[in-house]
Chain A
């Protein structure tokens, strides 16, 4: 008896879910497993801010409910982190010490918050707003926060600080316009943003980066390069996102900033595909590697990866012209346009 295929998808975001749906539509019999290290169902990441501030509830946040996975006979394993991949034996090593074997693998692991190298040693002090857990966590903290500090180098950070100011928090915003993500801001744009924030009563510090961070009781003390001292009772970092691929390094799967895939989204092993925020592709038009960020992109790539895994040869094309350069690689974005309004 031939053994059933086992398609494993790492990542329960838009790319992973789209891929799973396509696989199921085209293969009734295969085992399909989605692995995610989050404890919460597939949700809209861009709505996290609204969820946290109480504008929307948990169910509105969800894209998909558990029963939908059951109906499609997709096994959803939540709260399970993959720690290691062995492409030769086609085995995943999960954090909780279980081996999981696949016949074909889709990496849709998305991205994780970026931390500036100069602030890396203070990583443990930062609160991030990257996933449901973070949001729920911040939501529970929010009531007790009075004067938060936001270290901001991306547009979600700006959104977040505006939300804090609406909630009448005395917030301080460190704007890192020179290492803004995904594109560096020029001083003119930075000034415009600063003025608009200050109009909203947000203390904005621009061009005076953090030198040291220390703790005093429950508070965080920031000393800047120019010697200013800022105190706050919570510390948030928004420095953009980078592909979440640390666990893949060393497995034999080629990675650089993201997972290196060809135009079919196939990695250097023929049964492994990558899609969404973690896939790095050489683009003929741009003559360079790029990583696409954003919801629509992820869905498109999830679909293409799934069809190619099933034996087709679909080629991924860039979707939008908005391309920015982050740390020497091109990043294509589409979703923050909506955030600005």
Chain B
């Protein structure tokens, strides 16, 4: 009989203790072993100092959609920080802590003192073992991983190899000290701890799929998709949590004939992207809230001048510089509506890492075909969360070359902004014989010459609106799951919250609540028909999202004709499916 294993492991420490990298190593290794994983990190915004870091990963042999709220296992690398993390450990959870720190803790400063009965605590001399293994306390994150491997029946040999691989580019000393620390922790736990939990990843019946899968996070998926979609230019200014995209592309792109420019600011970055788009090359930038705000004006230029441009906005807590290392979904308004005038653009919000890849390909395609600005809305969580996914399908040839180039007839008297039935005008790449045109941010005639009369403005606004609406049919329809009819509670979610919502709905159904789930990929143009239909089928409509005002709820409000139940959270953490579930239960009564 297949057995279920579903474990949330949290590693908590202070910045600089290797907390996040330990979590990442664990997640990547477990997914390489075929387990489903979903990880999430919280860390302080300051680079220097001793702030709290938490690496959270959920590991399962079942399909999972959310990172899980409470941990089954908490590994405390730092007592003070971990004490504040203890409430998130389940009542019957397991605590792994350092029982031999360098000095005595004062009363209640040791996490072990806070453990409620029922929680199993395993004390491991992390410092001492790291010292013994490598002569440095640095390796105590690896000691902890070794202990985890021993306590939860994880293949230590394979784990060890993955650590070697991970540090393969580092010096011998770095590799050895990490590996030795790992082994020391593993051995120590094996010899000294009498296991009193029954959890083991090696139990018979736990068969993870051995299929070769990709271990990837949202940012990596975006970067990969950008390469696979043939971008020539990436321009950007570093900003958490989007920096990683630029980091990867700066390594990968130049070798493939592309260019990565780190510009002086975000305005310049979008300027570069529009320039490349104007020149006929695929280009992209990635930023977060504050940078996106700066880009809005030039984004409007792309819309007005009908130049392809793609902006990835990985959202973080705002406004302004806000919370650089926390997740939030509060840039929806500016992404969909930000800018002056009626600035219609396409906004896609992937809900999974797979969709991060697909949407990036789609965004570059749509931008090129519909000659406009496409915004991709990720968030901190989606950007950094590591998943185990099937290798993404490379974009179809159709998606790679989407420019509607002018035919010979068009070039006889070339009109760059010709009014057509689709709203898409033939786009000549500069240098095309006969394809000369004027491009401007001013309202313009079909030829591109500035014109301010009412008639032109009406016609052109209509044209820009229409082409965006036409794009809708090229974007996958909203996903649905749960009950098909007689729905008591319908949950409509977007972006990274969708996974939790989907899981919550599945759980609600198990509790006998008639619940259904839907999430749209496209926020602009909005799939109004599907949303209206779904809303009509539900007795109560619930919109959970990570912002305080209910930006998505307000966006769809005109189309649902009923009061929307909102579930808003600005904790900086992903929305737990447990919270959505209790909200469903509450409103279903």
Contacts and interface: CB of A to CB of B under 8 A. Distances in A.
Contact of B115 (A79, A95, A97, A100): A79
Given A39-B196, A77-B113, A133-B194, A98 B104 contact: yes
B107 A98 contact: yes
Contacts of B108: 98
B123 interface: yes
Nearest to B102: A97
Interface string A68-95: 0100000011111000000000000111
Interface in A134-171: 136-137
Contacts of B117: 41, 66, 69, 76-78
Given A95-B123, A96-B99, A80 B112 contact: yes
B258 interface: no
A133 B196 contact: yes
Contacts, number: 62
Interface in B79-107: 97, 99-101, 103-107
* 7 closest cross-chain pairs (CB), A and B: A98-B110, A96-B99, A96-B112, A98-B105, A66-B117, A76-B117, A78-B117
B196 A96 contact: no
Contacts of B558: none
Residue of A78, A96, A99 with most partner-chain B CB within 10 A: A96
A79 B116 CA distance: 10
A114 interface: no
B196 A77 contact: no
Contacts of B106: 98-99
A77 B116 CA distance: 7
A101 interface: yes
Nearest to B120: A39
SS of B interface (majority): loop
A79 B121 CA distance: 7
Contact of B110 (A96, A101, A133, A137): A96
A133 B112 CA distance: 19
Contacts of A76: 117
Nearest to B108: A98
B115 A93 contact: no
Mostly helix, strand, loop or mixed at chain A's interface? mixed
B255 interface: no
Given A96-B112, A137-B194, A66 B103 contact: no
22 contacts: A39-B121, A41-B117, A66-B116, A69-B117, A76-B117, A77-B115, A79-B112, A93-B104, A94-B110, A94-B112, A96-B97, A96-B99, A97-B100, A97-B105, A98-B104, A98-B108, A98-B113, A99-B107, A101-B107, A133-B196, A136-B196, A137-B194
A100 B105 CA distance: 9
Given A79-B115, A137-B194, 17 more contacts: A66-B117, A77-B117, A78-B117, A78-B121, A79-B112, A79-B120, A79-B123, A80-B113, A95-B99, A96-B99, A96-B123, A97-B101, A97-B104, A98-B105, A98-B113, A99-B105, A100-B107
B104 A99 contact: yes
Contacts of A136: 196
Contacts of A96: 97, 99-100, 110, 112-113, 123
Contacts of A69: 117
Nearest to A101: B107
A98 B97 CA distance: 13
Interface in A89-145: 93-101, 133, 136-137
B485 interface: no
A93 to B, nearest CB: 7
Interface string B112-141: 110111101101000000000000000000
B109 interface: yes
